[in-house]
Amino acid sequence: MNFISLPPTGLHSKWPLGGPTAVALCVMSMLLKMPPGSGTACPPKCRCEEMLFYCDSQGLQRVPNNIARGSIGLSLRHNSFVELQNDQFASFGQLVWLYLDHNQISVVQEDSFQGLFKLKELILSYNKIVRLPNTTFSQLINLQNLDVSFNQITSLQPEQFHSLRKLQTMHLRSNSLRTIPIRVFWDCRSLEFLDISNNRLRSLARNGFAGLIKLKELHLEHNQLTKINFAHFPRLISLQTLFLQWNKISVLLCGMEWTWDTLEKLDVTGNEIRTIEPMVFFTTPNLKILLLDSNKLTTVDAQIVNAWKSLTHIGLSANMWACNKSICALASWLSNFQGRWENSIVCASPEHTQGEDILDAVHGFQICRNLSAATTQITTGYTDATQQLEATEYVTKLTSIGSSTEDTENPTTETTTAAAATAEDIPEFDNTLFTHRIITGTMALLFSFFLIILVVYISRKCCPPTLRRIRHCSMMQHRRQMRQARQPMADLSTQVPYNEYEPTHDEGALVIINGYGQCKCQQLPYKECEV
């Protein structure tokens, strides 16, 4: 008789069995020892890879019944889910990721994700969710990525994200949020990325971001914020990038003294900024990228540009820059800026400077008489003592001249007035004008030299036979003069007179005058001379 051992179930550990019955019980024992779902078939129209199930675009309204309970990943994208019921995923305790995006979900029950303690990624984007219960995510203690973007959520509950201590990224963009509750992110101590863009936020609470001690990137663009106070961000001690573009911000200010050492990039493009307090940039001493394009700035205070010491990239285009005396501080800083800006910075007023680059307008219209001196004053806070002494001496001389020629009726008052008027009109040394003169003179000299070379080159190329004949004629004349000088002066009768050849009018004549006399030669049609 055969005995077979069975798992301890409260029965005897050995049964006397024989024949086919023993074989059947052996098979049953093996099935009991197999891991859950190891013999489960893949649901119809789904794609299965070991313990990963992809049941996308099947028009499903509930989870298929024959999905293994031990599955690790479940994708139900692009289906027709309308509601997530309580304990709907309770039997999938091994799930690591769950994708439910692109459905028609409008209702999420409070315990919909009950039992998903191992879940690390939950995607609920592109649905119609209006409200999330307060404890929806309370049991997702290992969740690292949460995406509820592109829904219709109007508000967040005070304890909406409590217990999500391992969460690293959160996407809330493209909803209808109007406010951020105080301390709503208090438990999100590991969060590094937060996107609340494309909502309807009008203001930020002072403690709205409390607890986000590891946050590095914050997106608040495309909202309806009208004022940004940097006093709302002192809890973000690790933040490096802040996006605030395309809101309705008109003022940037800082209501408290503190130092934001970690912030490196600030983007406020496409707002309505007219005023910026210098304290904003005193608070951010390590700022490297500042984008202020497409705002309504007309000028920038000298204290602000003095605080832009660490910038490597700046955007100031598409503003309403007034190119008058108030622009000198910005122009001085730009002329010494070693970083880069992508778009041109042009004047919006006055009318005669519209469309001109700021630096071109400052130099061309002499808006800032001594740009280098202004730059030194901004960066160092003092002026050169030598320049002050020379200016004082110049004013003294002009004052003495003016006082000697004026009427004596009221000398003290008139002398003081003349000195004040003269002090305002002191001519200043313009390095740019001096440089332009040097360049102009050099170019004129080079042009003259090349012109002479060109004339010589053309002459040699166009008339080489004529030049050779001219040289030959000159040499013959010189030799003749030398022979005549050697003959005795007394024997004049024996000399054969020299008959000059007179060319006809048709032949033409080329007359050459040199240092020894006159030589006439005939110019033939092929431009050669016969002597």
Residue 190 sits at the vertex; the CA angle it makes with 103 and 112, to the nearest 5 degrees, is 30
**Predicted local confidence at residue 529, as pLDDT:** 43
115 vs 388, higher pLDDT: 115
pLDDT at 129 exceeding the cut of 80 = yes
Which of 29-38, 428-437, 510-519 is the most confident on average? 428-437
Would you call 497 exposed, middle or buried from its count of C-beta atoms within 10 A (0-12, 13-18, 19+)? exposed
Residues contacting 202, CB < 8 A, separation 6+: 178, 179, 223, 224, 225, 226
Cα–Cα dist 225/249, whole Å: 6
- Residue 336: band (very low, low, confident or very high) from pLDDT cuts 50, 70, 90: very high
Mean pLDDT confidence for 104-115: 95
**Predicted local confidence at residue 427, as pLDDT:** 42
**Predicted local confidence at residue 483, as pLDDT:** 72
Chain region(s) in the chain for CATH 3.80.10.10: 47-188, 225-372
**Predicted local confidence at residue 488, as pLDDT:** 52
Q: Is the pTM of this model over 0.75?
A: no
pLDDT at 26 exceeding the cut of 50 = no
Cα–Cα dist 81/104, whole Å: 6
Residues contacting 491, CB < 8 A, separation 6+: none
Cα–Cα dist 282/517, whole Å: 89
Residue 461 sits at the vertex; the CA angle it makes with 460 and 467, to the nearest 5 degrees, is 40
Mean pLDDT confidence for 43-50: 91
**Predicted local confidence at residue 325, as pLDDT:** 93
Residue 113 sits at the vertex; the CA angle it makes with 111 and 118, to the nearest 5 degrees, is 140
Span 57-68, pLDDT tens digits: 999 999 998 899
Mean pLDDT confidence for 383-389: 41
pLDDT at 523 exceeding the cut of 90 = no
- Residue 464: band (very low, low, confident or very high) from pLDDT cuts 50, 70, 90: low
Mean pLDDT confidence for 164-173: 98
500 vs 468, higher pLDDT: 468
Residue 239 sits at the vertex; the CA angle it makes with 233 and 245, to the nearest 5 degrees, is 75
Cα–Cα dist 318/243, whole Å: 19
DSSP for 21-89 reads: HHHHHHHHHHHHHSPTTTTPPPPTT-EEETTEEE--SS--SS--TTS-TT-SEEE--SS---EE-TTTT
pLDDT at 399 exceeding the cut of 60 = no
pLDDT at 21 exceeding the cut of 70 = no
Cα–Cα dist 202/246, whole Å: 13
Cα–Cα dist 215/237, whole Å: 8
- CA 446, 449, 452, 457 torsion-angle sign: negative
pLDDT at 147 exceeding the cut of 80 = yes
Decide if 294 contacts 318 (C-beta within 8 A): yes
268 vs 23, higher pLDDT: 268
The DSSP letter of residue 525 is T
Above pLDDT 70, what percent of the chain?
70
Q: On the CB side of 158, how many CA atoms lie within 13 Å of its CA?
A: 1
pLDDT at 475 exceeding the cut of 70 = yes
47 vs 484, higher pLDDT: 47
| Assigned CATH topology for domain 225-372 | 3.80.10
Which of 217-226, 406-415, 457-466, 485-494 is the most confident on average? 217-226
**Predicted local confidence at residue 530, as pLDDT:** 42
| Assigned CATH topology for domain 47-188 | 3.80.10
Mean pLDDT confidence for 117-130: 98
Cα–Cα dist 470/510, whole Å: 9
Cα–Cα dist 369/353, whole Å: 16
Span 241-252, pLDDT tens digits: 999 999 999 999
Average confidence score pLDDT of the chain: 80
User: What tokens does 292 get?
Assistant: 């202020």
300-329 burial by CB neighbour count: b if 16+ within 10 A, else e?
bebebbbbbeebeebbbbbbebbbbeebbb
The DSSP letter of residue 409 is S
The DSSP letter of residue 422 is H
Omega prior to 525 cis, within 30 of 0: no
